[in-house]
Amino acid sequence: MGKKGQKQKIILPPELPPETSDNEIEVSDEDLQFVDENRDYAGFVSRLDTQSITKHVTRVADVKEDALEALYEKRLKKKQLQKEQEDNKLEVDPVDALPVKTLDGQLLYRTATKTSRPSEEGETGDDDKEATADQSVVKLTKAERRAKLKKSKKEAKKQGTELAKTEVEQTPQAAVLDEVKKDITAEEAFEDKKRKIAELGIAVLSDPESNIKSLKDFLQICKDNDHAIVKLGLLSLLAVFKDIIPGYRIRLPTEKELQMKVSKDVQKMRYYESTLLSSYKAYLQRLAALEKQSSFQHVAIRCICTLLDAAPHFNFWESLLGVVVRNISSSDDVVRRLCCSTIKSIFTNEGKHGGEATLEAVRLIADHVKAHNCQLHPDTIEVFLHLSFAEDLGRSKKTDEKNKVKNKRNKKRKNVEEPSKLPENDRKRSKRELMSKMRGEVEADYKSVAFTPDVIEQRRMQSETLSAVFETYFRVLKHTVQPVAASSEANAGASGSHPLLAPCLRGLGKFSHLIDLDFMGDLINHLRMLAAGGSNSENTSGKSLTVSERLQCCIVAFKVMKSNLDALNVDLQDFFVQLYNIILEYMPGRDQGEVLAEALKIMLCEDRQHDMQKAAAFVKRLATFSLCFGSAESMAALVTLKHLLQKNVKCRNLLENDAGGGSVSGSIAKFQPYASDPNLSGALASVLWELNLLSKHYHGNISTVASSISSMNIAHNQVFLSNVSPIQAFKDMSLEQQSLSPPNDLKQSNGKRKRGSVPFRAEHSLDTSSVDKDSLRKKLSSHFMLLRDIKENQRLRSELDHATSSLQLYEEYKQQMGKDKRDKPEKRARLNGLSK
Amino acid sequence: MRPLDEIETTAVFEKIFKFTGNNLKNIVENPSHEGPDANAGRYCFRLNKTKVYYVSESLVKRATNIARSNLVSLGTCIGKFTHAGNFHLTVQCLSLLASNAKHKVWLKPTSEMSFLYGNHVLKGGLGRITENIVPGDGVIVFSMSDVPLGFGIAAKSTQDCRKMDPNGIVVLHQADIGEYLRMEDEL
């Protein structure tokens, strides 16, 4: 206010002191006395024209009545603007926290250049008032900063109302207008541009055909200097395009068609399409250019992903896809997640693009993996899990071949027949040819227009996709098997030196039924090498696979084998050996129990026939295993054990106390617990003494299962098969452990229970749980009483020791003292004697 | 009775290696608890006339007391040398091979009898087959209840087996337990 006063030539009266209320003013007694004495002195005060003075002081003296209010409003607004400016400036973290003091004594806080994001929300809040076009913009940016957005919305609304006020004030005050103009900061221009974007958006959306030119203006805005405006422009353009893009690919008219005379509608349509296409192209180019710059990367990627998601059929989708795939393994989490979700949606919504995009995406990803030599983030390949293929893809080849054979035979037959029909009219032949031609043309036209995908075409695309997918998987497998020489140290990221292995194995398991027989042998070979624990002899630390990974290899191998059972029932010897050894290496904290349970289920429970020696070896090892680990793993092992014993009758002699195996022991007379090959373990000669220990397990379920296994030979109900799989048992037990509920009784009653009869089991558990609770309580209480007594005893004993030791010391001390006393006169006598 | 010399040992081990692979060391280093010795002795190979026997050392010691002309057999006979000097495994070593087998084939019940009569194993008779069989490998033939029936040489790899028609030969017959009845005199 002072500055402006200096610009005017009139010397202004000084500013009023700050107002204080009457209550705060304390009048001292001396002052009262003085005033009373000198009434004339201060008499002038009562005669002052306070009104005019205040008018002058607040500098509204010259202003007329009706403009008075406007001036006050303007001042208020100015103040608020200034405050807002400061607020905005302060919103941003000051680069230098230290302020600078000018010569005037003013403290200046240096502010950094605005980061565009806070202001972005400020502006998107303003747009919220406008049409739906901008609502999508708000949605896009809202995702990350909701709280700030609310605050900035309020501010923006205030700003908006002030804007309206400025407009109102412009007409009456010319002088005030100058001042206002000087106050226009970048923020005003900002607001203007925002509004322009909103207007353009609304215009295009409401009537795209006539307002298509405004897209060009939009693009102009995107070339602005201000980052925030550019981002806003990009995002709003995105929303506009999403709504405008038609459901078909735009094909620009050829030269010939341009020359033809067409109606106005068609011309309008052509103009619309060409403008749309050209502006779309320019937009994409801008996006591509901006994607390289790190400040715009998030926005650009988001635009590209949304466009691809919404319109994968439209022109230029290949370039979009290229960008997305390039970023699919970027180290930035947000970008990666966006790209992965886009590709997943492409895979799942095949109807939008008719399969082409899937094929292209898969091919690009395969090339990407190849280029980076399999050192990528696992998400890259995880997207493949969302692919879906027609189930009969593998079989279709056979039917095609059959058809081909049939056709060949038919053709042969026709060829034989035709020579007999040689003397035919030319006219008839030409007629036939014409008809077939026309039919062909009609079919082609129909195909091009029809929306339903051509089955053969689809199949071809799917088989190509499948081959690309498997190419990637095999490349990853090969890479894992090879010794990774120097690069292993350079790769500090992701999960070890084989980050892609886990999703690759999962994918192989999912698509195992589609693998061609030719590749099976090679695949099984590689899996065997992997299961054996990594690469060749250069197995330094960090290169060998974890237990879970090896188990996954075994599981995948079995899945692959199982899906091709119609060819031949192959016994995977080596994988059984691996599983046998891996069971020993399992550690509950480090490795995943679910994977182990799944491996047990697939390899042991679902397999049809087993070598007796091998089955017995697994039975024995599983029993040992269940002794060592927690309830969950024990339960899984015991369930598998029960399964094996029920299926292989010969193994039941393990339950008999017949050391040496008797006559059924097979060729190996003694049990070798450390044998690495289950066939050579001689387990048929051992005894399952672990079951006796397990029947006294602290967990009720395990003890019941163990005792039921022990009595398997005697029990009458030998016919039924247990219907709990190891995986389920593992899950149940681990969940129970977590919830710390009292152990439910899982006793399985006779036979005819169907799978999934959970309510029955629950009822059963309700009956017995009360009993268990009491006995459990008693047992626990006695146990803890015992523990407490033991501790008490220990403590008392230690005190006793302490006391006795101190007593002993005292005794000794006393003795010493007595000795000295006795010794001393003797000593003195001796000395005297000597001296004498 | 005499121990085998170099050439003969290599011949015997080669043949056994075809069937057992690396488990050969289990056969050679098998501890034997026969005899009054507290320490476990070993098994060894001895040649008597043209037959090779797999005997425990304690038994060998005692058998040296019997004259060569009077000694008919000792331990387990695993095979014999032909006039030309080649070694053939006979069916009597089946139990030894079966426990240390690398490659196994299980026969369906319907084709067991055919194999026991001396015929080759056809693909249609295969119940199960171990993975990773190479043509020329030694294969032990089992029944579905894991009773060793005999042994032979693989004609095709496991991969090729999948694509074969059901009448193709998978395993070439070499010896089976039916020979105990059919060729009693020659054993």
Which of A194, A131, A123 minimizes the C-alpha distance to A153?
Answer: A123
CATH number assigned to the domain with residue range B103-182, chosen from the 4 options 2.30.130.10, 3.40.50.80, 3.60.20.10, 1.10.150.120: 2.30.130.10
pLDDT top residue among A750 and B132: B132
The dihedral built from the CA positions of residue A446, A447, A452 and A456, taken in this order, carries a sign that is positive
* Mutation to test the A interface, candidates B159, B160, B161, most A Cβ within 10 Å: B159
Q: Which residue's entry shows tokens 């250069």?
A: A538
How many Å apart are CA B173 and CA B139, to the nearest integer?
A: 10
Beta strands in chain B (DSSP E): 2-3, 31-32, 41-48, 51-56, 76-81, 87-89, 104-107, 121-122, 126-130, 138-143, 148-154, 169-176
Would you call A619 exposed, middle or buried from its count of C-beta atoms within 10 A (0-12, 13-18, 19+)?
buried
ipTM: 0.78
Residue B176 has pLDDT above 90, yes or no: yes
Tens digits of residue pLDDT in A371-401: 887 777 777 788 888 887 766 555 444 444 4
Please answer whether residues A694 and A706 qualify as being in contact, where contact means their C-beta atoms are separated by less than 8 angstroms: yes
CA B86 to chain A, closest CA, distance in angstroms equals: 28
Please answer whether residues A768 and A745 qualify as being in contact, where contact means their C-beta atoms are separated by less than 8 angstroms: yes
How many Å apart are CA A538 and CA A468, to the nearest integer?
A: 31
* B163–A570 C-beta distance less than 8 A: no
Q: Does B25 touch chain A (CB under 8 A)?
A: no
The dihedral built from the CA positions of residue A598, A601, A606 and A607, taken in this order, carries a sign that is positive
Using CB atoms, which residue from B23, B95, B129 is nearest to A570?
B129
pLDDT top residue among B8 and A745: B8
Please answer whether residues B162 and A517 qualify as being in contact, where contact means their C-beta atoms are separated by less than 8 angstroms: yes
Chain-wide mean pLDDT for chain B? 89
Q: DSSP code of A500?
A: T
> What's residue B27's pLDDT?
85
Please answer whether residues A543 and A498 qualify as being in contact, where contact means their C-beta atoms are separated by less than 8 angstroms: no
Using CB atoms, which residue from A528, A568, A650 is nearest to B161?
A568
* B106–A568 C-beta distance less than 8 A: no
Tens digits of residue pLDDT in B143-164: 988 889 999 999 988 878 888 8
- Name the residue ranges covered by the structural domains of chain B: 2-96, 103-182
Q: What CATH class does B2-96 carry?
A: alpha beta
* A613–B162 C-beta distance less than 8 A: no
Q: Which residue's entry shows tokens 């988001």?
A: A302
Which residues in chain A land under pLDDT 50? 1-8, 89-93, 112-145, 147, 149-150, 160-171, 395-407, 413-423, 484-495, 535-543, 719-721, 740-767
* CA atoms within 13 Å, Cβ hemisphere of A439: 6
A-chain residues near B126 (CB < 8 A):
568-569
Q: Does B132 touch chain A (CB under 8 A)?
A: yes
Which of A491, A477, A579 minimizes the C-alpha distance to A529?
Answer: A477
Q: DSSP code of A783?
A: H
Chain center to CA of A266: 48
Which tokens is A516 given?
A: 């061609």
Those residues whose C-beta lies under 8 Å from the C-beta of residue A792, and which sit 6 or more positions away, are none
* A571–B95 C-beta distance less than 8 A: no
Using CB atoms, which residue from A571, A609, A667 is nearest to B130?
A571
> What's residue B151's pLDDT?
94
How many Å apart are CA B2 and CA A7, to the nearest integer?
A: 131
CA B67 to chain A, closest CA, distance in angstroms equals: 32
* B104–A611 C-beta distance less than 8 A: yes
Q: DSSP code of A12?
A: P
> What's residue A592's pLDDT?
73
A-chain residues near B127 (CB < 8 A):
569, 609
Residue in chain A nearest B127 by alpha carbon: A569
* CA atoms within 13 Å, Cβ hemisphere of A373: 6
> What's residue A451's pLDDT?
60
Using CB atoms, which residue from B26, B106, B161 is nearest to A680?
B26
CA B12 to chain A, closest CA, distance in angstroms equals: 21
